[in-house]
Structure 1
Amino acid sequence: MNQPEVAQPLSLDGSIGEGGGQVLRTALSLSLCLQRPFRIENIRIGRKRPGLQPQHLAAVRAATAISDAVVEGDAPGSTALSFAPGPVRAGVYHFDIGTAGSTGLLLQTLLPALMLGEDDSTLTLDGGTHNPLAPTFEYLNQAYLPMINRMGPQIQAELVRPGFYPEGGGRIRVHIRPAVHLWPLQIPRRGKVLTLDGQALVANLPLEIAERELAVLQSGLAVHAGGLQAHRVEDCISTGNAVWVSVYSEHITEVFSVLGEKGVPAETVAQSLVDQVRTYLDEDVPVGPWLADQLLLPMALAGQGSFRSLEPSAHTTTQIEVIAAFTGRRFQVRPTDKGHVLISLE
């Protein structure tokens, strides 16, 4: 009797591009969606602590849990991993990273497969919700997920409690209603800027810190007093501060955020955020540098789409490389004007 054909594992080099955990997370997402096994070597080989760290292991094990994958190499510090997924199962899942590792990055690993599933899913993810080198919850909820919802799925996210580095202990809950297929995104322009609002959050710190940050936002940006809000929470195990600005435009919402640092004045923290927002507004592009690389994977699954952004970051070019390896299709990056580019998949 003939045996069913088994797809050959795709071979990946984890040191390509920016050489961080993004290569692994994108590979896991595409492997789940396309049911394509892969083997990756040189995982984070150039980093201070190479190989799989707790946040990367959490992504591997969560991807394994929703697909009954066969995995080799999922151990702390491992620089090589083999992953062969089974069919993705919708359901109610709870994953604890165990550290302050990013719940947002874990969500972005699992979401593509679950939003194309046959039934609703609910994810409860424990770990960090406000990390220095990862999307904050507010960014996910106001900038990233609305773009995903525009493509057909319906995703609702809730911040149960914040979690800051290094204690973590945060929790987000996400409900996913999948779509039969994804509509392509077309974002050629930002349109008129409608309004800006600014918010500051402190956990187990004086509210005065948040109020000082908002005063800087009010003086440095066109944010009216009614669009400024300070929040203080105590029912969490971590201590931290985050401040963010949401830019609402006709065709897109972008969110920029900065985390407070011990010993850095609140005014300095807020001014760095003002500078980020001003740069975005002056450039007159719809898609900022972080959203650019995060939209590529869902656009690849839709098979079509385009948007205008700034010169691609290392994360964006790395994402393009990994997507091409899995799908054989490459995004086109065409210069337009003023240093802007049109990124498209046709």
Structure 2
Amino acid sequence: MIEIDGSAGGGQLLRTALSLSLCTGTGFTMTKIRAKRSKPGLMRQHLTAVNAAAKIGNAFVEGAELGATTLRFEPGVVTPGDYRFATGSAGSAMLVLQTVLPPLWQCDRPSTLRLEGGTHNPMAPSADFLVETFLPAVAKIGIEASLRIERPGFFPAGGGIAHAVVQPAQALRHAEFLDRGERRGMSATAMLSGLPNNIGERELDVLMRRLHLPREARRVHEVTPSSGPGNVLLLRVEHDSHAELFTGHGERGVTAERVAERLCEEAGHYLRSTACVGEHLSDQLLLPMALAGGGAFTTHLISDHLSSNARLIEKFLPVEIDWTELAPQLWQVRIAS
């Protein structure tokens, strides 16, 4: 039984602990869950992840309730199958998927999942990010999974539906993401649900001006309204060896121009570096690489998420995760057993 101080990070620590507990058969107790957040304890999306992990892993759980700051999790045998998980709100269904993905790919049969809730949430990977960036990256490690968005669910209303298929991973392999190669191009999509098209046009105008995005590489995409209006701005940056997707979220009281400016600022840090992997993918690669026993990547920033996730992974698995600064805005992260 591993003891974990949850105040060292947010919900990501809990999700990583749940995944690794099921993968290794090691139980854990986490205290001070999200203690430094404005609303400490388990929120609905965290609770859904706990219940999803318990269901696929036949686990014994104590403390699985909204607002709980202590959780005890004792895993059983992970069972592949057909599952449906709903956050019951705009909470991120994609974070639930990332929690159950590692134990399910270790099974001997495929699994299918119906995920309901938020598909495009601030502070969480969007469904498009998983499709465009995360899943192609982990495929190089030997993980085969697919994700289809039936209906997007935007913050704050949610109401999205997505379907995932997870195949057994026969053998994971070491992978390296060190050089992204020459840039192939950039493209952008403004997704709108129940809002005027000119909001998307204004966002894309900012990207065209700030990033010199060609007019033919931009589009406005109207989607079937989910539970409420929503707006997401997607920027795809493609290089020879890797593609990153950056996501901006429309908010009440925030202008379309400001949404696009924020996205340009985030993408600009990556574009000004020579790193292969962006900030958000960097901490998400640690777990599959650690389960594979090794790997390496370059990134432009060592985030708090990355460092806290690395230290937690080392509690469950016999690996060491280290990073070295090679140049300004260029770090190499290496996982070794």
Query: Of residues 295, 300, 306 in structure 1, which corresponds to 2:285?
Result: 295
Residue-by-residue CA offset, 1:10-45 (whole Å, 9 max, x unaligned) = 1111112xx211111100000011111111111112
Deviation at 1:79? 1.2
Contact 2:269 2:300 in 1 (8 A): no
Distance 1:152 1:234 in 2: 34
Instruction: Confirm whether residue 118 of structure 1 aligns to residue 108 of structure 2.
Output: yes
Distance 2:247 2:37 in 1: 25
Q: Larger deviation: 186-195 or 224-233? A: 224-233
Residue-by-residue CA offset, 1:53-95 (whole Å, 9 max, x unaligned) = 1111100100011011111111121111111111111111000
Contact 2:270 2:300 in 1 (8 A): no
Deviation at 1:238? 2.0
Equivalent AA in structure 1 for residue 152 of structure 2: P
- In structure 2, the gaps of 5 or more residues are none
Distance 2:301 2:121 in 1: 24
Distance 1:311 1:159 in 2: 30
Distance 1:271 1:331 in 2: 34
How do 1:113-192 residues align onto structure 2 when only pairs under 5 Å count?
A: 113-192=103-182
Deviation at 1:293? 0.4
User: Please, what is the CA RMSD of the aligned residues?
Assistant: 1.3
The alignment's TM-score, normalised by the length of structure 2, stands at 0.96
Query: Of residues 306, 321, 328 in structure 2, which corresponds to 1:316?
Result: 306
Distance 1:224 1:285 in 2: 24
Instruction: Confirm whether residue 229 of structure 1 aligns to residue 219 of structure 2.
Output: yes
Query: Of residues 7, 14, 17 in structure 2, which corresponds to 1:15?
Result: 7
Residue-by-residue CA offset, 1:140-177 (whole Å, 9 max, x unaligned) = 11011111112212211111111122211111111111
Contact 1:195 1:223 in 2 (8 A): no
Distance 1:66 1:198 in 2: 37
Residue-by-residue CA offset, 1:159-209 (whole Å, 9 max, x unaligned) = 111112221111111111121111112011111011111001011111221
Correspondence for 1:4: none
How do 1:306-345 residues align onto structure 2 when only pairs under 5 Å count?
A: 306-345=296-335
Secondary structure of the equivalent of 1:335? strand
Instruction: Confirm whether residue 106 of structure 1 aligns to residue 103 of structure 2.
Output: no
Correspondence for 2:20: 30
Deviation at 1:244? 1.2
How many residues are matched?
336
Secondary structure of the equivalent of 2:208? helix
Residue-by-residue CA offset, 1:114-136 (whole Å, 9 max, x unaligned) = 12211111111111111111111
Deviation at 1:47? 2.0
Query: Of residues 238, 244, 248 in structure 2, which corresponds to 1:248?
Result: 238
Deviation at 1:221? 1.9
Deviation at 1:48? 2.0
Query: Of residues 190, 208, 212 in structure 1, which corresponds to 2:202?
Result: 212
Correspondence for 1:75: 65
The verdict on how the C-alpha distance between 1:211 and 1:339 changes in structure 2, with shifts beyond 3 A counting, is closer
Q: Larger deviation: 41-50 or 101-110? A: 41-50
Q: Larger deviation: 98-107 or 325-334? A: 325-334
Correspondence for 1:285: 275
User: Percent identity at matched positions?
Assistant: 40
Distance 2:213 2:282 in 1: 25
- In structure 1, the gaps of 5 or more residues are 1-8
Secondary structure of the equivalent of 1:142? helix
Secondary structure of the equivalent of 2:320? coil
The alignment's TM-score, normalised by the length of structure 1, stands at 0.94
Distance 2:160 2:324 in 1: 40
Distance 1:47 1:217 in 2: 32
Secondary structure of the equivalent of 2:142? coil
Correspondence for 1:5: none
Contact 1:68 1:87 in 2 (8 A): yes
Instruction: Confirm whether residue 41 of structure 1 aligns to residue 27 of structure 2.
Output: no
Distance 2:194 2:321 in 1: 45
Contact 1:201 1:232 in 2 (8 A): yes
Correspondence for 1:261: 251
Distance 2:249 2:109 in 1: 36
